[in-house]
């Protein structure tokens, strides 16, 4: 089942391709979690340029309508069904008709006239288009963008026009208002934004200042500072929550920020490059950031008004461009209107994911409460009822118990603080002493003298600016101060009453004081470490129990307390006399909601769920509260406190009764990838997505047993769709590019190694793209990447062959020495891997065996003890066969000696027959083993097997005939003995070639030379045949016919003897016509020319054989290893170490792998370098000689010219003297 070509609706309104529920689930996950990568949705609308410009969403049907720029119809896009298409009547094909869309007060959409002569009004209810207002003339690009004012009118900013256009939707009239902007400046403003002051501001395109339109007075003027005279600076703008207007850079290098209150415009963000028409228009996302739509840029631009930073979203190699304006829809997604693009662009900027993480820690109550980061990777959980400290690795998700055991049960410590010495000190609750955890050596010790008796003394603590730890009183009546360097402690301040569970946690204020979070206490506790004083501050918060638990200090200096039983977040402002107020929405009366607070890198404060079903996210800047992530089951006391992982920005909840650590993504664009990954590997995803720039990730959330088969099939269907495989690839690239992202991707792929097979089954464009992703490459380094999918993909299919070769070449390149050894074992466990390679064409086999990983695998299999033993026995039996065959067929010329040796020959014949029968049975077993792997015909029809079987049959025939004829063979039997002799020695040579690389090199070279001289042999045969016939022809009329050229056989022998120089001159008498002439021609053509050509051919063949010898040797080793695979001899078994050492020593004594190839390559390189030096020397000598000749020639010419000049001067002087004499 393939994915739909476009995410459009079916006839019944459901997405097409919805046959398989799992496939639908995955595709929906891709669409709903693709926040990392903007991607196109809807039908293909064509690639014609300049189709639509700007759009609005109708509040009634929630459809998005794009205004036609050069298109002939209005565009209608339905976000619910993801369908897009033209609507309404035909508006003609004129270019640049309208530019921008505004939703009027009457619910109609109005198109701003650019080249059109009138305003367009589109009614979504009736899908009718009409022209309103007066004729505005045929001037090109008159206005560009507009905004609706509070009075219901729409104001359009002038682009090439001189005045602002005002549209009144209620009357359908238009008129020009405000100041007349004269001068030579064209394309003045592009885009309009309504600010909080009610005025509308035009974004400077080529104008030098901002334009302000006052709807109350219908006046307009330029305001603010000068922004330069450059053209096409910004196009479109967005009003941010801070009240400022942000201009979208088109040609400008930075984003424009304009504050209407101060009327000051500045440039913010990093340099975005000097490209042309980068972005056009933008919208405000649900996360408070501004998103600009790519026109010629390849990625969306995100502008964060809070930090005033800019970032690019998506894959740099994507083709997402050609959009003009867009809409932030009510479903939370952002949609861009296609100008020259073929589809609508969709992007999701929402939510934050939450997931359980790490191994199962068992379900027990209040195991650990609170924790602290010890280093960049691990945090340490404080034992409450657990007997030991837990150390949790955020990269691997592994938890381990460290240090001394302090007994289970009893609420020993509550929370911890990391001091300046790097150690973590646990706050004593019921235990009489402080606990010191040293992350350097993972040791734990009890420090300090014994504390006062009593249970629940203190909980949580804060590191003061003086380096001391101040523990917040729970049931104890005083604050305790602990000095980590000395281990001394002291009680400070007065008695705070006998009420239990007074405060829960503390926060260090900006002025250095510590504030206790009120749990059962009525007021906030303030600790002044400098004065060593304590006091209760703020208003009376009531008698409710367990009101708040944990808090954080925000960037503005205020302190926010997270509700446990309270219904609201509590804000404490130390700068205003410790005033307190409840902020945020009502979070309900449920008890024991959250316990502990951690501030993320995004500035938000996150409440760790105790009995709540969701994580609490509170934004101090907007005072907004939200419940984020998936529903977290598990009853009460799930987690208690949390820590911030500084490298990735993730927050980890400390497990109290939960069996796993809680992980909260605070900057979690990567969750889009993780969600899709979990679906693809068959795991249920339990988190949503966010659009924050990823700061890193740890290993994946691995839980449950994945359905690897389903994962591979789902990914296969995804990869079949050209649009969606690019989305997944882009997500994987971005995830791989963040810290530890490659490990995260690899960890997920481990759960579904069959996904790799689905990737290699795809088109070459797909698998080449995926194999280049660093996270995929990290996965390929892991032994888990090798599975049954690999041997099943080695089939004789051109596309699959290229993918498999690319795979082996890649892992050969990636695998270092230690990782190569890790990969060899799982590769060796694939019984059909090498065998299936034999099914491929020869050129493919050669490319595969040339890769380091395959050649190492072949060598690894050959060193297995049983394989080495079988190889040695095979060689030994064939040596015995050769010896007994020679003994059985050895000729004796001395009759007396032959009689004495008769019994010996008889015994050799019997032994030879027995060995031959054993070897024949071994051949049958090999054929049966290859039959199990469906390779029986490849094995039987191979040249080597055919020759082996023929040899064994002939040995039986020869031995049987010798026994039958009492060792008196006939001529035919002697011929068989000769043939058998060559076959027997050829087999022995082949066996030795599999053992020794030097022998293999010579054998291979000889084989290749024979193949290469075949064309030469044909030519030589034809030439010699011509001379044979010619010599015989001239004998017919000869006075003295030569017997050597009489019979044809004798003539051939004579011509062949001439090649060796063994000829008689008497056979070529001068009396015979042409006899001597043919002899001379033969000797020149054949003996001189063709023999030298043969030498050259053999030399070239030898050089070529040296280059190919390694490949051909490995091809032979592949056949041998595949045969041993089929026989089960290369299976990795648990044998005594001595067996493995003997096998390796045996192989090492026979062969030095790869050394011969390296020496040959070095020799060739050295010879080539020497040849280059010789050529350079010859070139220098030639140049020197040429310059010498040229200089000599020029000197001669100069001397000749000088002599001619002197001669002429002498003639002139003589003529002058004669004239003077005549005078």
Dist. CA 1129–CA 834, nearest whole Å = 13
In this prediction, residue 248 carries a pLDDT of 93
More confident of the two residues 1175 and 943: 943
In this prediction, residue 690 carries a pLDDT of 31
User: Is the pLDDT at 1185 greater than 80, yes or no?
Assistant: no
Judged by DSSP in three states, 660 sits in coil
What would the DSSP string read from start to end of 235-265? EEEEE-TTS-EEEEESSSSSEEEEETTTTEE
φ/ψ (deg, to 5) at 777: -65, -35
Dist. CA 662–CA 356, nearest whole Å = 5
Token pair of 928 as six digits: 């049966």
More confident of the two residues 30 and 714: 714
In this prediction, residue 526 carries a pLDDT of 94
Between vectors from CA 348 to CA 345 and to CA 349, what angle results, nearest 5°?
A: 130
Token pair of 602 as six digits: 């995004």
Closest listed residue to residue 38, CA positions, set 249, 294, 236: 294
What would the DSSP string read from start to end of 172-187? TEEEEES----SS--S
Cβ(212)–Cβ(193) under 8 Å? no
Token pair of 170 as six digits: 């209620």
> Which residues, 6+ apart, have CB-to-CB distance to 983 below 8 Å?
947, 950, 951, 954
Between vectors from CA 862 to CA 856 and to CA 865, what angle results, nearest 5°?
A: 130
In this prediction, residue 20 carries a pLDDT of 45
pLDDT-derived band at 357 (thresholds 50, 70, 90) equals: low
User: Is the pLDDT at 910 greater than 50, yes or no?
Assistant: yes
Confidence (pTM): 0.50
pLDDT tens figures, 979-993: 888 888 888 887 777
Dist. CA 912–CA 886, nearest whole Å = 9
Closest listed residue to residue 158, CA positions, set 136, 191, 117, 131: 191
Cβ(285)–Cβ(691) under 8 Å? yes
User: Is the pLDDT at 1150 greater than 60, yes or no?
Assistant: no
Cβ(472)–Cβ(460) under 8 Å? yes
> Which residues, 6+ apart, have CB-to-CB distance to 1084 below 8 Å?
none
Residue owning tokens 């008889």:
906
pLDDT-derived band at 152 (thresholds 50, 70, 90) equals: very high
Paired with 85 in beta bridges are 76
Task: List own/partner pairs for 69-75 with CB under 8 A and 24 or more apart.
Answer: 69/95, 69/96, 69/97, 69/98, 69/99, 69/114, 69/324, 69/339, 70/94, 70/95, 70/96, 70/97, 74/109, 74/122, 74/127, 74/129, 75/45, 75/51, 75/337, 75/338
DSSP designation for 4: P
pLDDT tens figures, 808-821: 888 888 876 555 66
Between vectors from CA 959 to CA 947 and to CA 906, what angle results, nearest 5°?
A: 140
Dist. CA 89–CA 76, nearest whole Å = 13
In this prediction, residue 14 carries a pLDDT of 33
Cβ(63)–Cβ(77) under 8 Å? yes
User: Is the pLDDT at 528 greater than 90, yes or no?
Assistant: yes
pLDDT-derived band at 700 (thresholds 50, 70, 90) equals: very low
Neighbours of 694 (CB within 10 A): 24
Cβ(74)–Cβ(67) under 8 Å? yes
pLDDT above 70 coverage of the chain, percent: 79
pLDDT tens figures, 658-679: 878 888 876 444 455 555 666 6
pLDDT tens figures, 583-628: 988 888 899 999 999 988 777 899 999 888 888 888 887 777 877 7
Cβ(529)–Cβ(477) under 8 Å? no
Judged by DSSP in three states, 871 sits in helix
- Separate counts of helices (H) and strands (E) for the chain: 27, 56
In this prediction, residue 1214 carries a pLDDT of 64
pLDDT tens figures, 1077-1103: 888 888 888 878 888 888 888 888 887
Dist. CA 988–CA 1148, nearest whole Å = 20
pLDDT-derived band at 1187 (thresholds 50, 70, 90) equals: low
How far CA 198 is from CA of 243, 282, 285, 331, 667, in Å, comes to 11, 20, 22, 27, 35
Radius of gyration of the chain (CA): 45
φ/ψ region of 422 (left if φ > 0, alpha if ψ in -120 to 50, else beta) reads: left
Between vectors from CA 107 to CA 103 and to CA 109, what angle results, nearest 5°?
A: 40
- Give CA 90 to chain center in angstroms: 47
Counting Cβ atoms within 10 Å, is residue 1220 exposed (0-12), middle (13-18) or buried (19+)?
A: exposed
């Amino acid at each position: 089942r393939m994915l739909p070509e476009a995410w459009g609706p079916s006839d019944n309104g459901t997405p097409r391709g919805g046959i398989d529920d799992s496939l639908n689930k995955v595709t929906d996950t891709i669409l709903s979690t693709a926040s990392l990568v903007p991607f196109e949705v809807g039908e293909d609308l064509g690639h014609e340029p300049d189709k639509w410009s700007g759009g609005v969403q109708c509040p009634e049907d929630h459809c998005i309508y794009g205004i036609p720029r050069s298109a002939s119809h209005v565009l209608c896009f339905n976000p619910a069904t993801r369908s897009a298409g033209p609507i309404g009547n035909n508006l003609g094909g004129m270019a640049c008709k309208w530019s921008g869309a505004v939703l009027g007060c009457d619910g109609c959409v109005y198109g701003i006239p650019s080249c059109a002569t009138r305003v367009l009004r589109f009614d979504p209810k009736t899908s009718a288009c009409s022209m309103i207002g007066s004729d505005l003339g045929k001037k090109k690009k008159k206005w560009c963008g507009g905004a609706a004012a509070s009075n219901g009118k729409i104001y359009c900013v002038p682009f090439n026009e001189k005045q602002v256009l005002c549209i009144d939707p209620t009357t359908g009239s238009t008129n020009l208002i405000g100041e007349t902007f004269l001068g030579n400046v064209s394309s003045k403003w592009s885009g309009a934004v309504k600010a909080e002051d009610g005025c509308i501001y035009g974004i400077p395109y080529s104008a030098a200042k901002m334009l302000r339109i006052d709807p109350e007075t219908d006046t307009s003027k330029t305001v603010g500072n000068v922004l330069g005279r450059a053209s096409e600076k910004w196009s479109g703008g967005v009003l941010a929550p801070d009240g400022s207007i942000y201009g979208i850079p088109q040609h400008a290098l930075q984003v424009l920020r304009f504050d209407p209150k101060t009327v000051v415009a500045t440039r913010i963000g990093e340099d975005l490059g000097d490209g042309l028409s980068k972005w056009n228009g933008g919208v405000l996302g649900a996360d408070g950031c501004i998103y600009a739509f790519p026109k010629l840029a390849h990625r969306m631009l995100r502008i964060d008004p809070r930090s005033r930073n800019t970032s690019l979203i998506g894959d740099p190699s994507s083709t997402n461009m050609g959009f003009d304006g867009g809409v932030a829809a009510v479903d939370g997604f952002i949609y861009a209107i296609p100008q020259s693009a073929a589809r609508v662009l969709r992007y999701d900027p929402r939510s934050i994911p939450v997931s359980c993480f790490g191994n199962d820690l068992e379900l027990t109550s209040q195991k650990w409460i609170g924790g602290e980061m010890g280093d960049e990777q691990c945090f340490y959980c404080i034992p409450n009822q657990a007997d030991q400290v837990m150390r949790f690795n955020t990269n691997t998700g592994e938890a381990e118990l460290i240090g001394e055991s302090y007994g289970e049960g009893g609420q020993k410590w509550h929370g911890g603080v990391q001091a300046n010495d790097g150690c973590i000190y646990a706050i004593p609750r019921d235990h009489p002493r402080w606990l010191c955890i040293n992350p350097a050596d993972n040791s734990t010790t009890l420090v300090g003298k014994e504390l006062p008796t009593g249970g629940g003394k203190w909980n949580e603590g804060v590191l003061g600016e003086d380096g001391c730890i101040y523990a917040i009183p729970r049931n104890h009546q005083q604050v305790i101060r602990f000095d980590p360097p000395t281990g001394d402690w002291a009680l400070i301040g007065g008695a705070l009453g006998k009420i239990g569970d007074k405060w829960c946690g503390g926060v260090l204020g900006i002025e250095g004081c510590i504030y206790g979070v009120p749990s059962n206490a009525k007021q906030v506790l303030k600790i002044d470490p400098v004065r060593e004083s304590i006091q209760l501050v703020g208003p009376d918060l009531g008698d409710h129990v367990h009101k708040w638990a944990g808090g954080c200090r925000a960037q503005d200096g205020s302190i926010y307390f997270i509700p446990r039983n309270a219904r609201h977040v509590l804000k404490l402002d130390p700068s205003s006399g410790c005033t307190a107020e409840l902020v945020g929405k009502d979070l309900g009366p449920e008890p024991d909601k959250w316990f502990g607070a951690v501030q993320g890198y995004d500035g938000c404060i996150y409440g760790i769920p105790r009995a709540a079903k969701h994580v609490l996210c509170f934004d101090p800047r907007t005072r907004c509260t939200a419940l984020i992530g998936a529903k977290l089951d598990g009853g009460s006391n799930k987690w208690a406190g949390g820590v911030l992982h500084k490298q990735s920005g993730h927050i980890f909840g400390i497990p109290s009764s939960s069996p796993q650590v809680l992980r909260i993504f605070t900057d979690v664009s990567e969750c889009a990838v993780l969600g899709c990954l979990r679906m693809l590997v068959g795991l249920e995803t339990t988190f949503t997505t966010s659009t924050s720039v990823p700061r890193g990730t740890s290993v994946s959330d691995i839980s449950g047993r994945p359905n690897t088969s389903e994962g591979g099939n789902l990914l296969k269907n995804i990869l079949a769709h050209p649009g969606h495989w690019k989305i997944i690839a882009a997500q994987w690239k971005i995830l791989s590019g963040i810290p530890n992202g490659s490990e995260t991707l690899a960890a997920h792929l481990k759960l579904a190694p069959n996904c790799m097979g689905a990737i290699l089954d795809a088109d070459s464009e797909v698998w080449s793209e995926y194999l280049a992703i660093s996270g995929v490459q990290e996965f390929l380094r892991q032994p888990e990447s090798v599975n049954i999918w690999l041997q099943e993909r080695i089939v004789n299919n051109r596309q699959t062959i290229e993918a498999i070769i690319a795979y082996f070449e890649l892992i050969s390149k990636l695998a270092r020495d230690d990782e190569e050894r890790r990969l060899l074992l799982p590769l060796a466990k694939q019984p059909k891997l090498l065998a299936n390679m034999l099914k491929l064409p020869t050129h493919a086999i050669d490319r595969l065996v040339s890769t380091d990983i395959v050649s190492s695998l072949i060598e690894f299999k050959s060193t297995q003890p049983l394989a080495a033993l079988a190889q040695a026995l095979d060689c030994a039996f064939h040596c015995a066969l050769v010896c007994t065959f020679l003994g059985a067929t050895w000729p004796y010329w001395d009759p007396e000696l032959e009689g004495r040796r008769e019994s010996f020959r008889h015994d050799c014949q019997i032994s030879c027959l027995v060995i031959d029968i054993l070897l024949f049975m071994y051949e049958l077993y090999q054929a049966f083993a290859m039959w199990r792997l469906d390779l029986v015909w490849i094995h039987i029809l191979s040249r080597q097997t055919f020759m082996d079987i023929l040899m064994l049959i002939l040995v039986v025939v020869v031995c049987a005939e010798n026994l039958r004829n009492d060792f008196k063979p006939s001529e035919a039997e002697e011929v068989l003995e000769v043939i058998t002799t060559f076959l027997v020695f050829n087999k022995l040579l082949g066996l030795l070639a599999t053992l020794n690389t030097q022998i293999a090199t010579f054998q291979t070279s000889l084989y290749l030379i024979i193949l290469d001289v075949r064309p030469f042999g044909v030519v030589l045969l034809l030439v010699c045949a011509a001379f044979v016939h010619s010599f015989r022809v001239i004998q017919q009329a000869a006075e003295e016919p030569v017997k050597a050229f009489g019979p044809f056989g004798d003539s051939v022998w004579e011509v062949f003897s001439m090649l060796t120089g063994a000829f008689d001159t008497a056979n070529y008498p001068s009396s015979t016509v042409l006899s001597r002439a043919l002899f001379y021609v033969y000797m020149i053509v054949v003996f001189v020319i063709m023999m030298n050509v043969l030498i050259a051919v053999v030399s070239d063949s030898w050089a070529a054989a040296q280059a190919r010898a390694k490949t051909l040797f490995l091809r032979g080793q592949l056949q041998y290893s595949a045969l041993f695979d089929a026989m089960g001899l290369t299976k990795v078994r648990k044998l005594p170490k001595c067996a493995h050492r003997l096998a390796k020593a045996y192989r090492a004594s026979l062969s030095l792998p790869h050394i011969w190839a390296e020496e040959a390559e070095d020799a060739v390189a050295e010879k080539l370098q020497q040849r280059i030096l010789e050529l350079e020397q010859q070139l220098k000598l030639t140049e020197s000689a040429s310059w010498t000749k040229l200089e000599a020639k020029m000197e001669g010419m100069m001397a000749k010219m000088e002599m001619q000049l002197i001669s002429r001067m002498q003639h002139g002087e003589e003529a002058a003297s004669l004239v003077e004499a005549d005078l």
